[in-house]
Amino acid sequence: MMNLESIPIQAFLIVSSALFCIGIWGLLNSRNAVRVLMSIELMLNAVNINLMAFSSYIDNNLIQGQVFTIFVITVAAAEAAVGLAILLSLYRNRVTVDMESFNLLKW
């Protein structure tokens, strides 16, 4: 066992990097619009882990990273609500959630 005082910050950063890349992969490869929204939530969570790790290891007295995380959580909640409302109105007009069929802006 390594003789350390605490978990190294790199461990948290690697976990958050991997989570972010999984989110990007899901965002690019999902056919279902709900899964795209889930991938966006995964990416926001990866950013939050990053902010929290830096706040705890680098700025551990002022913890401004935690305040930023609170704001990111707020924005993520607003984004989820609006995104799912858009999804519902898309579904009403197109009767599908397939991302490939939402191509009105394609040229």
Which of helix, strand or coil describes residue 15? helix
Site residues (CB under 8 A) for other proteins, limited to 66-95: 66-67, 69-71, 73-82, 84-89, 91-95
6 binds other proteins (CB under 8 A): yes
47 binds other proteins (CB under 8 A): no
Residue 63: CA count within 13 A, CB half-sphere = 8
37 binds other proteins (CB under 8 A): yes
Residue selected from 47, 53, 105, 107 as contacting other proteins according to rule CB under 8 A? 53
Task: In angstroms, give the least distance from the CB of 6 to other proteins.
Answer: 7
Q: Are 66 and 55 in contact (CB under 8 A)?
A: yes
105 binds other proteins (CB under 8 A): no
Task: In angstroms, give the least distance from the CB of 44 to other proteins.
Answer: 9
DSSP 29-67: H--BHHHHHHHHHHHHHHHHHHHHHHHHHTSTTT-HHHH
